[in-house]
Amino acid sequence: MLVVDEQHIIRQVNQQAARWCGTQPAALLGQPLSEASLPPAVSATLLQLLEPDEAPPREVFLPEKEQWITLSAARQPGGWALYWQDITPQKQREQQYQALADNMPDVLTRWTPDLRLRYANAGFASKAGQPVSTLLGRTFNEMDAPADIAGPYMAALQRVFDTGQPQEHYNSYSGPQGTAYFYSRLVPELRDGKIETVLGIARDITELKNTQAEALRLRDSLMQHATDKYHALFYTMDQGFCLLEVLFEETGQHAVDYRYLESNPVFAQQSGMPADVQGKTIRELIPDLEPFWFDTFGQVARTGSTVRVERSVPQLGRWFDMHAFRVGAPKPGRWRCSSTTSPGARSASSRYATPSKPTRSGCGWPMPWARWPTPGPFSKP
């Protein structure tokens, strides 16, 4: 600490101040402040602090000692008290933070309540294509940013000031190197319980977006490949196959109909059903079909069990060896199941035997399979 009178003559000086100046207290006492043996930066700053207008504390670097100090002045009777404080550890932390901020891949910004830039790291200057010094004090709009980028970003900033809640923001930018994608997190910074500034942290997620796009493309390619293989098998297999949607009454306990969603060519040949069954219900095709089929498919749909049964359909003049199983997750009132049919012979005596009851097996779901090539109502003459 130094104490000077109205004529700026040094009247008191403590040992610490003299040590920082590299001299002894006696060498400073009685000296005009402007002529005292002080580091030039310290002398000039102290004289500025004695100006009529009250000045805030000033930071000064002492290169000989590699030390940072703050200087402040307080009026007192007969002169001023000049205070010095060592802030070297704080400045070192700030410099480390600044070095980290300037070399990190993220963009860091700080915005005032009027949405003007108070701080930005080198990453922001690089993206903006302008030095930080020319950007400070400007709004995003005043930085010549495209309106479709500046407008939504400033709106997100304003929401933080209005609500006090952090905001997330996404935007893309098309430049000479292609389209870049950014994710921003906007966080309020408080002083005395009020929002003083908003800190923005923006990350370039272009590589992630491109990776996601490539993953989606690969997924679609694999799905298309699997679909092609499925269709090749579906249309060349020697068993009849169909996909059914089982329809239930309001309680969901009793099946009342089923609709054909998909079938392969062999199914029409073996079952005697028309080739264009897709989208049609069995009651449209065979209005008087016996309840056995609705009960069987309903059981499979509701319970997820699999059923294999051999039974005749008089309306088609055929016997069916059917294996049925549920497909996909059930939905209220509707379930999907698949059935397959395979050709086979049945003895003349068993042709007129009493139809057997459905039996359960550990795999799949019941499906109709034609066993007798007796002409049916949908057969061509």
Q: What is the pLDDT along the chain (381 residues), one digit of tens a residue?
A: 889 999 989 999 988 888 877 788 888 899 998 888 888 888 888 888 888 776 678 888 888 778 888 888 888 899 889 888 888 888 777 666 666 666 677 888 999 999 999 998 888 888 788 888 899 999 998 988 888 889 999 999 999 999 999 999 998 877 666 788 889 999 999 888 899 999 999 988 888 888 887 888 888 888 887 777 777 877 778 788 888 999 999 888 899 999 999 888 888 888 888 888 999 999 999 999 999 999 999 999 888 888 988 888 999 888 888 888 888 766 654 555 555 555 443 433 344 444 443 332 222 333 333 333 334 444 444
Q: Residues near 307 by Cβ (< 8 Å), separated by ≥ 6?
A: 296, 299, 300, 322, 323, 324, 358, 359, 360, 361, 365, 366
Statement: 236-361 belongs to CATH 3.20.20.70: no
Structural contact between residues 291 and 344, judged by C-beta atoms closer than 8 angstroms: no
148, 154, 159, 165: CA torsion to nearest 10: 110
CATH number of 104-208: 3.30.450.20
Domain boundaries, the chain: 2-88, 104-208, 236-361
CA distance 180 to 123: 14
The structure's pTM equals: 0.43
**Phi then psi dihedrals of residue 187, to 5 deg:** -125, 130
Superfamily of domain 2-88: PAS domain (3.30.450.20)
Structure tokens at 216: 């989606």
3-state SS assignment for residue 255: strand
**Does 104-208 match 2-88 at the fold level?**
yes
